Structures are given as structure tokens and as C-alpha cells.
Amino acid sequence: MDKDRLDPWGTSTVKDYSRLRSEFGIEPVAPLLPRFKRPSPHLSRGIDFGQRDLGRVLDAVDNNKPYAVMSGIKPTGDFHLGTKMTADDMVYFQSLSKKGTVFYAVADVEAYADNGLSFEETSKIATRNVADILALGLDPDRAVVYLQSEELKVMRLGIVFSKGVTNNMLRAIYGERQIGLYMAALFQAGDILMPQLPELGGPKPVLVPVGADQDPHIRLARDLAARYREEYGFIPPSSVYHRLMLSLSGSDKMSKRTEGSLLKLDDLPREATRKISTAFTGGRDTVEEQRRLGGRPDICPVFDLYRFHFAKDDEHVHRVHEECAHGIRLCGECKQEANGLVKAFLEDHRKKRDSLMKDATELLARSREYLTSTGK
Ligand code: SF4
């Protein structure tokens, strides 16, 4: 049986999400679903499939106690449908209670170590990314956004943690890597644990929404939280994992690494149409075969467009799946419908994003001021 591979800096494959429990100790989300009054589409459609200690964050929500939602997104370019998933989760989990604060790390150290992007380039991209997440619904009044490379608290934690880990530990989690990536991993642990520093309100539940391939970072941060518990009082961070969306070529996850087969939130509608029209599908070789055998939505990136982002509601996802699997729906018409939904979203998002650029700049400045005021 193939082993699943979770590599935050490479190609990850997950053939069977339920196996991540036995292989990596990721628990299912399903038993916790009754605790959500308004489950997000990610929860109700099984996209958020796994978690570690999510119940601790839900306890904070139920008891009106402070909690943080923390995630980092690499500023490697405009948001795409892969990064939108993490952003959607940040927005949703922030919305569960007025006591939830989002910490969004613009992961420029990782973008430098993994993608070779200069800090000048990434700082320009960062403002557009922040405008993207605002357009997706982030409440700026309960959000702290910062550039990883500029935040001394993160750097200091990374340095402190570097004394508590050995090469063997990092190799066991990440495999053999260049030192820059190990450093980026330690700074990421700093990002994840920073919201619990005394100057930021002290120990509290922190939820990290990420793609399944980012689990190595969570394991490292939880390990470090335990090692430094006595010194800092850290509570082990919680996590919620989303499935990896297929790239439009049908292989690998949608990410910057699959540039030609990813949909960006900045794509012009005609560019998106071109990409969707040439996308791989789970359709059969002939119409006759598809009518007789049905399509294969579970390997189809066009179905992922509906399920992960653009279906009007859960019933719509179910209908597309059933019509496909029973040969009622053919790929041409299916792509056309998906294209209409994508186009409407992109046009609306672009307008919102462009109108929020000033707010994004202000949020970055306000966050910098706030973090500085809490001490270096
Ligand atoms: Fe994919 Fe739609 Fe074709 Fe089914 S009908 S395989 S969901 S494109």
C-alpha cells in the first residue's frame, strides 16, 4: 500500500484521508460537527476532514473566552483557489465568536527559502494578499497581519526554539532539507505560538487552519509547545485540516507549483475560461460510454470547483455529483456551468479586492503599530 506523503515544500499526495489518522494521528472532524451552529461549506461538505484538539477552541467559543486563529500564507503571488481555502477557514473560524482574533503571518521567510522570492518582491505582493482576504470577509478589527521577517517576537521564538531541537528531530519530521527551510520551520513555530506570549494576552487556545500537507509544521509546533510549556505556559496549538484541491490538470494539489493549472483570484474571466475549457475531467472517452457508465467526479478537478468553492449550496454539490456519476451530466455542459460561476465570482472579487487596497495597507500599518506597542 502506498504511504501518504505530507510535504509542506513539495508534492503531497493523499490517497485516503482516513488513513492520516493511523499514519499521523490526525483525528476526524465529523464527531465534532454537532457543536457547530452554522457549519461552513468546508465543514458540511467534508472538505475540512481532520483536526487536532479542535474541541479546545470550540470550548473557548462556547464559554465566550479568547482564542486565536493563526495561519501563514506564502506571498508567492496572487491568491489562488488553494490559498483561498486557508483564507476561507480563517474567516469562518474568526466569525464563530467576537472573542476570536486572527493572526495572519505573511510567510515571506518561507517564500524566500522555498521559492527564492526576495523580501522586496514579497512585501509588494503582501498588500494585495491582505486585500484578498479582506474581500473574502476577514473582520479587520479582530485581525493582526504581519510580515514574518519583520516580526521580532517571531524571530526570537525561532531562535529560542533552535536550541530545543536537533537535526535528527527536524530530519524525522521534514526529511533531509537545506538549513533555510529548517529555519523557516522554526519561525513558523514562532508564528503559531506567538499569540500565547504574555504581551499578547498569554496562553490561549490557538487554531491553525491548514491544508493536510502542512501537518509537519503543526507537529513541530505542538512538540515545541510541550518542550517550552514550563517557561511560557504554552497550550498545544489546535489544528483543522482541509483536503487538497486537485490542480486543473488532475494531478497534484492546486498550488503555485502547478502554475499552468491553477486558477488565481486575479485571473481575467477569459483566462479562467481558457483554463477550465482545457482542464482534465473524470469523463469517459465517448458520450455513449459516459451515459452508460457515468463520469468519475471524485477524480475530476471540475467537480472540485463546485465542491470546494463555487456551488451555490450543498444540494447543488450533491446534484452535480449524482448527475455526473449517473451519466445524466456531460463534461461540456458541466464545464460551461462551472465557468459561469467562476466568472461571476472573479468579477465580484476583483471589484471588492480593488476597493480594499487602502484598507489592506492600513491593516498592515495598524498591526505593525500594535505589535510594536506590545514590546519588542
Ligand atoms: Fe467532471 Fe462534470 Fe465531467 Fe463529471 S460531468 S466528470 S464533474 S466535468
pLDDT in tens, 119-157: 888 888 899 999 999 999 999 999 999 998 889 999 999
In ligand 1, the atom with minimum distance to the C-alpha of 279 is 8
Question: Residue 332: which domain range?
Answer: 256-354
- On whether both 104 and 34 belong to a single domain, the answer is yes
Mutate to test the pocket of ligand 1, among 287, 302, 321 (most ligand atoms within 8 A of CB): 302
Q: Which of 130, 45, 178 is nearest to 365 (CA)?
A: 130
Pocket, ligand 1, Cβ cutoff 6 A? 281-283, 295-297, 300, 302-303, 324, 329-331, 334-335
Report which listed range, 112-126, 224-238, 247-261, is most confident. Answer: 224-238
Looking at the chain, the whole-number percentage of residues with pLDDT higher than 70 is 93
**Tally of domains within the chain:** 2
Average pLDDT of 271-294? 96
Q: Which three cell numbers stand for residue 115?
A: 521559492
Which pLDDT does position 2 carry in this prediction?
A: 47
Which pLDDT does position 177 carry in this prediction?
A: 85
Which pLDDT does position 252 carry in this prediction?
A: 67
pLDDT category at 270 given cuts 50, 70, 90 is very high
Q: What pTM was estimated for this model as a whole? A: 0.91
Asked if pLDDT for residue 258 goes beyond 90, the answer is no
- On whether both 228 and 298 belong to a single domain, the answer is no
- On whether both 189 and 213 belong to a single domain, the answer is yes
Each residue's pLDDT tens digit, 337-369:
999 999 999 999 999 999 999 999 999 999 999
Last residue of a domain, one of 202, 221, 247: 247
Asked if pLDDT for residue 163 goes beyond 60, the answer is yes
- On whether both 276 and 215 belong to a single domain, the answer is no
| CATH number for the domain that contains residue 270 | 1.10.240.10
Last residue of a domain, one of 247, 274, 293: 247
- Compute the distance from residue 310 Cα to the ligand 1 centre, in Å: 14
In ligand 1, the atom with minimum distance to the C-alpha of 335 is 8
Specify if 285 maps to a domain: yes
Per the CB < 8 A criterion, the answer to whether 273 and 339 are in contact is yes
- On whether both 136 and 190 belong to a single domain, the answer is yes
- List, as one string, the DSSP characters of 293-308: H---GGG-HHHHHIII
- On whether both 66 and 199 belong to a single domain, the answer is yes
- Compute the distance from residue 303 Cα to the ligand 1 centre, in Å: 6
Each residue's pLDDT tens digit, 102-129:
999 998 887 887 778 888 888 888 999 9
Which pLDDT does position 234 carry in this prediction?
A: 97
Which pLDDT does position 113 carry in this prediction?
A: 76
Q: Which of 75, 167, 197 is nearest to 126 (CA)?
A: 75
Each residue's pLDDT tens digit, 296-305:
999 999 999 9
Which residue carries 501563514 as its cell?
72
Q: Which of 154, 230, 165 is nearest to 192 (CA)?
A: 154
Asked if pLDDT for residue 259 goes beyond 70, the answer is no
Q: Which amino acid is at 283?
A: G
116 or 61: which carries more pLDDT confidence? 61
Which pLDDT does position 263 carry in this prediction?
A: 93
- On whether both 236 and 208 belong to a single domain, the answer is yes
Which pLDDT does position 96 carry in this prediction?
A: 98
Last residue of a domain, one of 200, 223, 247: 247
Looking at the chain, the whole-number percentage of residues with pLDDT higher than 90 is 72
Q: What is the mean pLDDT of the chain?
A: 91
- On whether both 268 and 240 belong to a single domain, the answer is no
In ligand 1, the atom with minimum distance to the C-alpha of 329 is 5
In ligand 1, the atom with minimum distance to the C-alpha of 325 is 4
- Compute the distance from residue 205 Cα to the ligand 1 centre, in Å: 41
Specify if 203 maps to a domain: yes
- Compute the distance from residue 283 Cα to the ligand 1 centre, in Å: 6
Asked if pLDDT for residue 4 goes beyond 60, the answer is no
Per the CB < 8 A criterion, the answer to whether 213 and 7 are in contact is yes
Specify if 365 maps to a domain: no
In ligand 1, the atom with minimum distance to the C-alpha of 282 is 6
Specify if 32 maps to a domain: yes
Average pLDDT of 259-279? 90
Strand order in the sheet with 48-52: 27-28, 48-52, 238-242, 206-211, 67-73, 100-106, 143-147
Specify if 4 maps to a domain: no
- On whether both 178 and 299 belong to a single domain, the answer is no
Specify if 363 maps to a domain: no
Per the CB < 8 A criterion, the answer to whether 104 and 142 are in contact is no
- On whether both 197 and 309 belong to a single domain, the answer is no
- On whether both 291 and 223 belong to a single domain, the answer is no
Q: d(Cα 54, Cα 202) in Å, to the nearest integer? A: 19
Which pLDDT does position 19 carry in this prediction?
A: 73
- On whether both 198 and 149 belong to a single domain, the answer is yes
Specify if 348 maps to a domain: yes
CA-nearest residue for atom 8, ligand 1, is 331
Q: Which of 214, 228, 252, 261 is nearest to 70 (CA)?
A: 214
- Compute the distance from residue 266 Cα to the ligand 1 centre, in Å: 25
